[in-house]
């Protein structure tokens, strides 16, 4: 199934960094710590680790199989593996989800850029907790300001995608991912050396297992999927650029482990600082935009730490945005026979339209709602809670039912040159366990589970 002349990543390290770039993002540094804080700390962390290893890893391996075996975009891959069928709807769901995620993810990344600039200019100085709260609501309701930063994010992403797979995506990831680790380590060391940091570490590493409920398990599962970029075209698209000798199992294992490590480290960076300054760990989504500025304000060289922190967040977000952009660009390029550069322009223009609507929906268009949600929240809800779990579940069903085990094993062992000790367990898991587990997340996240429970009672 060779696809002559198609781009591949130049090295295994490049492939690993690019894939890690898609996984590590706002999900690790923004969403994970606040979910962990709101769901009892250590207990949530424990369940999250189990979900990532037992569920996330096998599904990631499966997506890598689809991508590298077909060497196609997220939709075309299904046409290669199951020609003349409608399985490509799974890929199309992924491409659409990627595009919709871009509509709000670029806006949040714009907030990060705005805060990075503010910390540089010193405008976070001398403010009270109330100031930070009102500043944030003012910031997100000012559409021109938001759009300015969002446009900057889109231009940067566009440039990287426009430069191609090797010179754009791979090269930028090889620079940005190590930078992200260095910054994360520096901030973590700063945080754990603050007086009173121990309480934060205890909150995180002393799990109170009585706090684990079915809701904790399901939200940890959902978080592990979002964090590992599972359920849509990103992993299929990037693995279509893997070389023949890239070891799929090892790469999936490294990405899962490092992505989880970043989420844990981000919490180790945030909670000791939060506890050290007597702030509530349960602040929720505003943790990094309202709570943390209070922390930076009280630190010596606070502006510098704030700048470094928002830089970290921006780098993490941009590498994920690049991967989302690439899913849609490659789809248009290969399926609609448009040059790669033109496809990239269409996608960037589309993102700007979508992101403008979602920025305005936080301010002057607040009253216009879809199913009771602002456009911004609607995009978040429909992708994270419906399209991603649906995609993940269907990917497992597709490979479990439709792909011969022999073909699966050959691809995953590079034609028998590497070993896969637990192959039969993996295949059983993908066919029978993962679809049910993911189906449960779906029912829970959409609230349908409560409806079914009520029916049964
Ligand atoms: N994994 C990214 C994060 O943790 O922020 C978010 C994401 C990127 C989700 C790409 C899905 C995706 F396809």
User: Rounded mean pLDDT of 377-405?
Assistant: 90
Q: pLDDT digit string (tens) for 187-238?
A: 888 888 888 888 888 888 888 888 788 778 878 888 888 899 998 889 999 9
Whether ligand 1 lies within 6 angstroms of the CB of 232 is answered as: yes
In-domain check, residue 61:
yes
Domain count within the chain: 1
In-domain check, residue 97:
yes
In-domain check, residue 188:
yes
The pLDDT mean for the chain works out to 88
The C-alpha atoms of residue 371 and residue 379 are separated, in whole angstroms, by 11
The C-alpha atoms of residue 110 and residue 113 are separated, in whole angstroms, by 5
In-domain check, residue 4:
no
CATH code of residue 331? 1.10.4160.10
Query: Residue 373's beta-bridge partner residues?
Result: 370
Mutate to test the pocket of ligand 1, among 18, 19, 20, 23 (most ligand atoms within 8 A of CB): 23
In-domain check, residue 294:
yes
Query: Alpha-carbon torsion 439, 320, 95, 143, what sign?
Result: positive
* pTM of structure: 0.90
In-domain check, residue 382:
no
Q: pLDDT digit string (tens) for 83-130?
A: 999 999 999 999 999 999 999 999 999 989 999 998 888 877 778 777
Contact 77, 240 (CB under 8 A): yes
User: Rounded mean pLDDT of 326-335?
Assistant: 96
In-domain check, residue 307:
yes
Whether ligand 1 lies within 6 angstroms of the CB of 22 is answered as: yes
Helix, strand, coil in percent for the chain, rounding step 5: 75, 0, 20
Whether ligand 1 lies within 6 angstroms of the CB of 229 is answered as: yes
Whether ligand 1 lies within 6 angstroms of the CB of 26 is answered as: yes
Indicate the DSSP class of residue 139.
H
- What residues contact residue 31 under an 8 Å CB cut-off, 6+ apart? 223, 226, 227, 285
DSSP 386-437: IIHHHHHHHHHHHHHHHS-HHHHHHHHTTTTTS--TTHHHHHHIIIIIHHHH
In-domain check, residue 326:
yes
Q: What is the 3-state secondary structure (H, E, C) of 254-278?
A: HHHHHHHHHHHHHHHHHHHHHHHCC
Cα 320 to middle of ligand 1, angstroms: 6
The residue range of the domain holding 339 is 12-376
Place of tokens 């121990």: 198
Q: pLDDT digit string (tens) for 130-178?
A: 788 888 888 888 888 888 999 999 999 999 999 988 999 999 999 888 9
Mutate to test the pocket of ligand 1, among 96, 101, 386 (most ligand atoms within 8 A of CB): 101
Q: pLDDT digit string (tens) for 23-57?
A: 999 899 888 888 888 787 888 999 999 999 988 99
């Amino acid at each position: 199934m060779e696809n002559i002349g198609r781009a591949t990543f130049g090295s295994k390290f490049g492939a690993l960094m690019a894939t890690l770039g898609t996984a590590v993002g706002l999900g690790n540094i923004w969403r994970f710590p606040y979910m962990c804080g709101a769901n009892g700390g250590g207990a949530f962390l424990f369940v999250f680790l189990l979900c990532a290893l037992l569920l996330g890893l096998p599904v990631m391996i499966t997506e890598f199989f689809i991508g590298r075996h077909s060497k196609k975009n997220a939709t075309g891959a299904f046409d290669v593996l199951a020609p003349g069928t409608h399985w490509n709807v799974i890929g199309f769901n992924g491409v659409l989800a990627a595009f919709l995620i871009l509509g709000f993810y670029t806006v949040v990344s714009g907030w990060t850029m705005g805060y990075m600039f503010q910390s540089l200019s010193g405008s976070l100085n001398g403010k009270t907790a109330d100031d930070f709260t009102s500043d944030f609501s003012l910031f997100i309701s000012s559409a021109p300001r938001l759009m300015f930063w969002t446009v900057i994010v889109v231009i940067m992403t566009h440039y990287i995608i426009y430069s191609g797979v090797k010179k754009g995506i791979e090269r930028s990831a090889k620079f940005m991912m190590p930078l992200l680790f260095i910054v994360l380590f520096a901030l973590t060391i700063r945080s754990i050396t603050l007086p009173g940091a121990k309480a934060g570490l205890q909150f995180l590493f002393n799990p109170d297992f009585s706090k684990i409920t079915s809701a904790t398990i399901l939200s940890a599962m959902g978080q592990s999927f979002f964090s590992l970029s599972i359920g849509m075209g990103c992993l299929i698209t990037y693995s279509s650029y893997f070389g023949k000798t890239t070891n799929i199992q090892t790469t999936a294992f490294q990405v899962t482990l490092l992505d989880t490590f970043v989420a844990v480290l981000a919490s180790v960076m945030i909670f000791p600082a939060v506890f050290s300054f007597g702030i509530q760990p349960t602040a929720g989504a505003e943790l990094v935009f309202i709570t943390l500025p209070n922390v930076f304000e009280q630190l010596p060289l606070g502006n510098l730490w704030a700048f470094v922190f928002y830089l970290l967040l921006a780098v993490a977000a941009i590498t994920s945005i690049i991967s989302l952009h690439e899913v849609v660009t490659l789809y248009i390029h290969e399926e609609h026979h448009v040059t790669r550069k033109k496809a990239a322009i269409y996608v960037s223009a589309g993102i700007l339209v979508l992101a403008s609507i979602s920025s305005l929906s936080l301010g002057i268009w607040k009253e216009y709602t879809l199913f009771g949600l602002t456009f911004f929240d609607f995009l978040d809800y429909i992708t994270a809670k419906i399209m991603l779990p649906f995609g993940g579940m269907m990917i497992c069903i597709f490979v479990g039912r439709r792909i011969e085990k022999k073909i699966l094993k050959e691809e995953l062992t590079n034609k028998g040159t590497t070993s896969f000790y637990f192959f039969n367990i993996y295949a059983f898991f993908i066919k029978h366990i993962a679809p049910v587990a993911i189906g449960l997340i779906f029912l829970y996240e959409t609230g349908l589970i409560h409806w079914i429970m009520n029916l049964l009672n």
